[in-house]
Amino acid sequence: MIAILVVACEVAFWVLLAAGLALRYVARKPRLGAAVLLCEPLLEVLLLVVTAIDLKNGAEPDWKHGLAAVYIGFTVGLGHHTIKWVDARVAHRWFGGPPPVKPPKYGTARAVHEWRAAARWILAATVALGLLQAAVWYVGSGGETSSLRMWQQKMGWVIGINLIIAGSYTLFPKQAPKGYEDAAVEREPAEK
């Protein structure tokens, strides 16, 4: 049941995103669109509560409970940025908004961009790690928690890989060709 709920939350995330953007741009009701988008965190609260109830009712923790924790973590770390990214592209593509600014390609600006992206992924993995550890404590020493520990190891890999990628852009920055000026600086889409 938990795995089905995770899939349902992911589908609901995109449905709410589409509904919020449709209200914002098509119906020209930006406040109502924002209110719909603000309902998205309720999906994670629902998933967290159902997962906790499932464990409390004696379910053995398995990969599905770990997946729920990881999904919540990744939504916390990446959800807001994803919404802003999609919003900027929808506004530009169909509603005359400004073109989204492309990330810088070279030098320090690119390194800063990569560290920002890494920070989002690290936040996601850290939240997932915290939820997984809370589940381990919740189950206690009498329960089988190896599947939750396996997810914790995977989140450690996510953190490590993102540190390596961002660090490589810092230590080995790609140099711009002669005469090239990278005027594009990443900015967040304008709020309407």
Digit-by-digit pLDDT tens for the chain (192 residues) are 899 999 999 999 999 999 999 999 999 999 999 999 999 999 999 999 999 999 989 888 999 999 999 999 999 999 999 999 999 999 999 999 999 999 999 999 999 999 999 999 999 999 999 999 999 999 887 778 999 999 999 999 999 999 999 999 999 998 888 877 655 444 454 444
Residue 176 within a domain: no
Residue 140 within a domain: yes
pLDDT the model gives residue 182: 53
Do residues 48 and 72 lie in contact, with contact meaning Cβ atoms separated by under 8 Å?
Answer: yes
Range of the domain at 148: 2-171
The model's pLDDT over 35-83, given as tens digits with 9 standing for 90+, comes to: 999 999 999 999 999 999 999 898 889 999 999 999 999 999 999 999 9
CA 41 vs CA 48, 50, 83, 138: distances in Å: 11, 14, 12, 23
For the chain, state the CA radius of gyration: 20
Residue 43 within a domain: yes
Residue 139 within a domain: yes
Domain count, the chain: 1
DSSP string, 31-86: HHHHHHHTTHHHHHHHHHHHHHHHHHTTPPP-HHHHHHHHHHHHHHHHHHHHHHHH
Residue 189 within a domain: no
What gap in Å lies between CA 89 and CA 100, rounded to an integer? 7
Residue 131 within a domain: yes
pTM over 0.85: yes
Residue 33 within a domain: yes
Residue 54 within a domain: yes
